């Protein structure tokens, strides 16, 4: 199976090309995408990457896309490109939550993945560890809410984060954290997406949507006064 991984959730993004099956994974290529250029560079860079390996887009068996949480603009642009490509090629799409990808880096049966959401908030996802983490819920919390929830938990889970600000605050409050991990990228998305495609856990281009968790500023500030 030949799979393309796309991640435009962060300030800078990337694409990855991988081949494999249920028992193997070979990363063929990774290419960074500079922030602010996603709309102009995504499709040309995909074509360039495939060309370097003597491949054509029709040979892709599926596309894996980071669905969020992350940059509103980046996710919209990236998923629009994935949607258009998959629709033309009639290929399946697998969505990968960055919290889900982060949870795979944990070592215990119950993992809480945390990403800095800015504004003293944190994106939180709780998972049961497996080849593909089993989601128990994703949410947006203030840092104080997150810390209080962990302190009250009778069976404290393993917290995994790639964000220094989150890990430093947890340690300051006496909470253990696994931060010896890198932020998930397009290669991680390709690997998890391949497993999902093999299992038939896919979406159609029409159903593809971002997992923002937080509402956009436009939504937050568009409510009429007094509501």
- Are 162 and 102 within 8 A, CB to CB? yes
What's the pTM value of the predicted model, to 2 decimals? 0.89
Q: Are 151 and 175 in contact (CB under 8 A)?
A: yes
User: What pLDDT does 75 receive?
Assistant: 93
Q: What is the pLDDT of residues 32-61, one digit of tens each?
A: 998 777 888 899 999 999 999 999 999 999
Percent helix, strand, coil in the chain, to 5, is 35, 30, 35
Distance CA 64, CA 216 (A): 24
pLDDT in tens, 113-161: 999 999 899 999 999 987 778 888 899 999 999 999 999 988 888 999 9
How far is it, in rounded angstroms, from Cα 21 to Cα 162?
28
Domains of the chain: 2-98+184-220 (3.30.420.40), 106-172 (3.30.420.200)
**What is the Cα–Cα distance from 172 to 79, expressed in whole angstroms?**
38
Cβ(79)–Cβ(13) below 8 Å: no
């Amino acid at each position: 199976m030949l799979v393309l991984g796309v991640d435009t959730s962060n300030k800078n993004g990337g694409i990855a090309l991988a081949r494999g099956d249920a028992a193997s994974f070979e990363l063929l290529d990774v290419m960074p995408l500079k922030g602010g250029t996603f709309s102009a560079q995504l499709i040309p860079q995909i074509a360039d990457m495939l060309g370097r390996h003597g491949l054509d887009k029709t040979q892709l068996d599926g596309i894996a896309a980071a669905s969020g949480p992350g940059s509103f603009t980046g996710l919209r642009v990236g998923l629009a490109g994935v949607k258009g490509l998959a629709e033309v090629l009639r290929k399946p799409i697998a969505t990968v939550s960055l919290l889900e990808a982060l949870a795979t880096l944990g070592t215990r049966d119950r993992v809480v993945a945390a990403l800095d959401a800015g504004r003293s908030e944190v994106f939180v996802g709780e998972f049961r560890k497996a080849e593909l983490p089993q989601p128990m819920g994703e949410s947006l919390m203030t840092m104080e809410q997150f810390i209080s929830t962990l302190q009250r938990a009778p069976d404290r889970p393993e917290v995994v984060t790639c964000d220094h600000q989150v890990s430093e605050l947890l340690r300051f409050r006496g909470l253990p954290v696994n931060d010896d991990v890198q932020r998930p990228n397009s290669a991680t998305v390709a690997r998890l997406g391949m497993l999902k495609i093999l299992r038939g856990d896919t979406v159609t281009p029409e159903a593809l949507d971002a997992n923002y968790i937080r509402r956009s500023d436009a939504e937050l500030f568009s409510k009429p006064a007094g509501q």
